[in-house]
Structure 1
Amino acid sequence: MSRTPVEQSIMNLIDLFHRYTEPNDTIDMRGLLRMLKENFPNFLKACEERGKDFLDHIFEDTDKNKDQMIEFSEFLMVLGIIAVEYHTHSHGAPLCSGGGQ
């Protein structure tokens, strides 16, 4: 059975998560930062140019159970913050203007 484009997008997010996970299916802080730097350089550059350090608190803000690991649901929260920023940007706001935080 073939996947719809939206189903494939979800599978791509799962693949992205698994590219950076530890054997226990979680991402540590180093892995999360590497994933963000490798996959969202334009977003991070825009934050830097606006004087914001997006990476500074993202791990602590999304590690809801405070186990020092990012589970898939917490990973989706990180992507959700970035997605909201891009959505706000699509309506004319500067990228990394705070719409996702």
Structure 2
Amino acid sequence: MSTHTTASQPKDQQFPGNCTLENALEAIVNIFHQYSIREGQLDLLNFSDFQTLLTEQAPNFLNVCGRNHPGYLQKLFEETDLNKDKELTFEEFTIVLAKVTDDAHRIIHKDDRCKPDSN
């Protein structure tokens, strides 16, 4: 049995490497795990874990357009809990990250994030 490696990914390549995006991906996974082990099952975020993660890790971000109120966080949690089991898997949490990243993109470009997309 032979293993196949490509020139772009040597057999001894470690993840993450020294790339900024790879380091950011590792940080996201580590932050998720830091909060997902607090209560309930390992690798799942209940609402309390989720709320604590966002309020501790993104407090300034949440202040934009009043996103730091419990109603917003509850709605975001419920929207991304696809199987409605009241816990977020990492995959479901990536939906939160996509929404938050879109908000951050708008904020950086000084768009009015309080309005929905025009498209």
Q: Report TM bin, short chain.
A: 0.7 to 0.9
2:30 to 12, 15, 18: 15
CA distance in 2, matches of 1:70, 1:94: 29
Higher helix share: 1
* Deviation for aligned residue 1:93: 1.1
Report the AA paired with residue 31 of structure 1.
Answer: D
**Cα displacement string for residues 30-75 of structure 1 (whole angstroms, at most 9, x for unaligned residues):** 00000010011112111328x9x53130111100011111000111
Q: Percent identity?
A: 29
The TM-score normalised by the length of structure 2 is 0.71
SS of equivalent to 2:21: helix
**Where in structure 1 do 4 or more consecutive aligned residues deviate above 3 Å?**
94-99
Number of aligned pairs? 97
- The answer to whether the 8 A contact 1:37-1:44 is kept is yes
1:31 aligns with: 49
Q: Can you give the 5+ residue segments of structure 2 that lack an aligned partner in the other structure? A: 1-13
Residues 80, 21 of structure 1: alpha-carbon distance in 2 compared, 3 angstrom cutoff: same
Instruction: Work out whether 1:73 is the aligned partner of 2:88.
Output: no
- Structure with max Cα Rg: 2
Structure 2 letter corresponding to 1:7: E
